[in-house]
Each structure stands twice: as structure tokens, then as C-alpha cells.
Chains A and B, each alone.
Chain A
């Protein structure tokens, strides 16, 4: 099992959700996060003074899935989240050691 953590532009969330649903991946968790990469934040101007917003709002998506679904999921997220501009985000994949569904006690891939 793998855990995919993707950092995306907040306004691409609906696209990403749809793309994952389309390939049969049901269930994801999102968190509102702030951060920067090559985009290096942006500036805002109030009363003529520039303020540097170093940490830009992003969404973090977490999806747990079976090993054979990882490549599909990565390409679905990539396509759905991409605008082509700097700041589109990143995708990370982790080994997932265990999973358990709270309600039934099912474990492993059955719990996903």
C-alpha cells in the first residue's frame, strides 16, 4: 500500500477530485496548508506598501491506495492539477505500513 500526498493549487481541488473519482479512487483527505517552492510566495500591496506573502495558501491531498493504483492516481492528479504555471504543486509517495477501518476492523487493502 502507498500513501500519496499531493500539494496542489486550491482552485484545482474540484478537478482533482473528479479525476480520482473517474478512475475509481474513492476517498481522500484534504488539509489547508501554506508553503512555498519555486514560486516563492507573492507580494500584496496595502496603502502603497508591499507585503511579502512567503507562504502561499495550498491544499494538501492525502490518498491511501493499493500499490497497483499508484501510477494511475499520480497521472490523474498531475493532469487535473496542472495549470502550467509555477506553483502548481508536487506529489509525494510514501510506503504505507498498515491500514484499518475503524467501523469493521478490516485491515490492509480491504480497509482502503
Chain B
């Protein structure tokens, strides 16, 4: 039976999650690149959102959420052919149409997150091809395993809003693509700083708000679970923001804006899998852990393994999502308003860790194959002249800023 309150909240959540890609992620990423590449990032976000929406309608939803096979959904909902106006999504009190749409916004933002790895040097055709294949080959199966009744769901893995399904898959895949496409030509020492830190903050703030739909919407109801998830989400973001600022303040003597809002995103990614389990105290602790660990992870990827994951998709999203997933059983012990308080910590941790490792390995291998294929079919990189000129004009024929008229 359709519940009006649940449906209203899920419609709202869906709108909030789409806002996270358009324009929030575009602004967050766009401010971090050079001025000559701002439009290319926005085009990529827009195009990936549109492309993945259509693919979700055609194949993605069915492969993820139709049937309860161990490995993959069935083809019964291809092109949403079996969707009726009055259909209610099983296990919920909302129309299936709303569920399709809510999950579509997740299928849009996950490939869009990967954009951060390959900005400022990728061919646009490669963006489209990689995103399309990645949605169907990586995202759809993993979403099915964890959320669609697949083998990880049957094993009892808990991923409230996408620590594994969204952040681990995107983060690991980002690293693989960044490694395969090779660094920007100025990497590491000639890289120019973010062209518009204020834009990064605007994007991150919209992400923060949109994340309420992402996490509290993942309750797929409008009641107590959604309320607690929103509270936990906000507290984790706040705590992580403070801790990242504190780290920079102590280390460099100045707390930066870009640092503060990077902390925000780390805290949000980290609470994502645990938003349904962590109470307020657990959320504050998770947020603090997020900034400490992600700060270190960003440094590790850039300076030690020297992969040009340009906007730190692995370091912030991948590591945050994995950490939240693994710490979930422990924060459940803190109670304080959280849910599922009688988790068996040991076995649950084992299941969570298996899920993270399997999702990471699967994402890495599948993304490697997809990227190789894209390289053979359309080529991954623009030439050096176009990279130097900037993708805005070289690829899209537009210029972001006409300051002198």
C-alpha cells in the first residue's frame, strides 16, 4: 500500500540527490580545476547525468533491482516495460516509479564522482563510453549484490546509503582510470592550484544539503529511521569539517576553505554506509575519523603512489566509504539513538570487510577492462596541445570566463 508521507519524502529526497550531481558536484569539481577547464567539468557532469539516466531506464534498473538472483537482476524491467502507474515497490510503501527515480539519481552521481580522477586531460568520447559501460558493468551488479537482494545482501552486509555501492566502487575505479590515463603533463610539481575555491565551497555546501536526501532518503520511509539518518549525516559532516580545519591549522598555521569543505565531503562519505546505524555520538566520532584518515589517504595517493587522481576521488570518497562501512559494527555499540543495536560485532565486521574487498577488487578489474576498451575504441587522452590550451575551448569550443569582454 502506498503511504503518502513516505512518498512525499522520497520525492523530495530524489530531487535532493539529483541536485548533488547538477550542479553541486559540477561546482565542487569545477572550482578545483584550472579556469581553462571549468566548462569541461560541467559538461561532463551534465552529460553523464543525462546518459546514465537513459541507461538506467533501459537496462540499469532491471539489472540492479528486478529479481533476487545472487549475482545480477533479470531483464524483466528492461526499458521499464513492466512498470505500471499503481505498482508499489516490494518491501516499501512508495510507488515503484518513485523508487526507480530515486535509485536513478544514485546511478547518476556514482559515475559522475569518477570524473574527478580524469579531469583536464580526457577525451569527451572516452568520458561517455567509460561512464556508460561502467554503469552497467560495475554499478548495476554491485548495487544488486548489496541492495537488490544479491549475495552480499543475503550475507547480511549493511550499507545504508552507499559506502560500498557508491563510494568504494567510484573511488577504486577512479584510481584505476587515473593510473591508466596517466598524469596531467604538469604533474606533480607544475600543477596549478584550484581556480575558484569559493566555487568549491558552494558545490560542497549543496552536496551537504543534497546528502540529506541521499542518506535520510535511503530509509525509503519518512519516519524515525530517516530522522536519525539526517541527524547523523549532519553531525558527521560538521565534525569532519572541524577536524580537517584543525589538521591544517596545526600543520600549516592557516585553516583553508578548500580544506574545510574537503573535510565536509569526507565526513559525508564516511557516514553514508552507517547513517542508519550510528547515533549522534557515533556520527561525530566517524566524522572525526574521516578527516584524519582521508587527509592521510589524499597525501598517500598523490605523493607516495604518485597517481594523478586529480580531485582525490579515492582519497576522499573511496577511503571514506570503506572506512564507514568497516566501522559500522563498532559505532552501533555506542547506541545513543542509533538503530540495530544488537549487531554481533565480530561476524558483522567480517561481512562488511568481505564486501568492501570484493567490491574494490571487482571494480578495479572491471574498470581496467572498460578503460582498455575505451582506449582502443576512442582513445583516452587529448593531445598535449589541447591539454595545454584547455578542454573548454579545445573540446567544447567555449570559454568559461570572458573577463575583458
Q: Chain A nearest CB: distance from B290 CB in Å?
A: 14
Chain A contacts of B312 at CB under 8 A? 47
Q: How many residues from A make CB contacts under 8 Å with B? A: 9
- Taking chain A's interface residues, is the majority helix, strand, or loop, or is none over half, making it mixed? strand
Give A99 to B197 CA distance when docked, in angstroms: 44
Is B258 in contact with A46, judged by CB distance below 8 angstroms? Answer: yes
Chain B 272-289 near chain A by CB (<8 Å), digits 1 or 0: 000000000000000000
Chain A 34-51 near chain B by CB (<8 Å), digits 1 or 0: 000000000011111101
B192 within 8 A of A: yes
Chain A contacts of B258 at CB under 8 A? 46-47
B193 within 8 A of A: yes
A53 within 8 A of B: yes
Is B192 in contact with A51, judged by CB distance below 8 angstroms? Answer: yes
Chain A 78-111 residues near chain B, CB threshold 8 A: none
Looking at A44, A47, A51, A53, the one whose CB has the most chain B CB atoms below 10 A away is: A47
Give A48 to B254 CA distance when docked, in angstroms: 11
Give A51 to B251 CA distance when docked, in angstroms: 16
Chain B 254-267 near chain A by CB (<8 Å), digits 1 or 0: 10101100100000
Give A49 to B130 CA distance when docked, in angstroms: 29
Is A48 in contact with B299, judged by CB distance below 8 angstroms? Answer: yes
Give A49 to B191 CA distance when docked, in angstroms: 10
Looking at A45, A46, A49, A51, the one whose CB has the most chain B CB atoms below 10 A away is: A46
User: Could you list some 9 contacts between A and B, CB below 8 A?
Assistant: A45-B252, A45-B256, A46-B197, A46-B258, A47-B258, A47-B262, A47-B312, A51-B191, A53-B193
Contacts from A to B (Cβ < 8 Å): 44-49, 51-53
Contacts from B to A (Cβ < 8 Å): 189, 191-194, 197, 248, 251-252, 254, 256, 258-259, 262, 295, 298-299, 302-303, 312
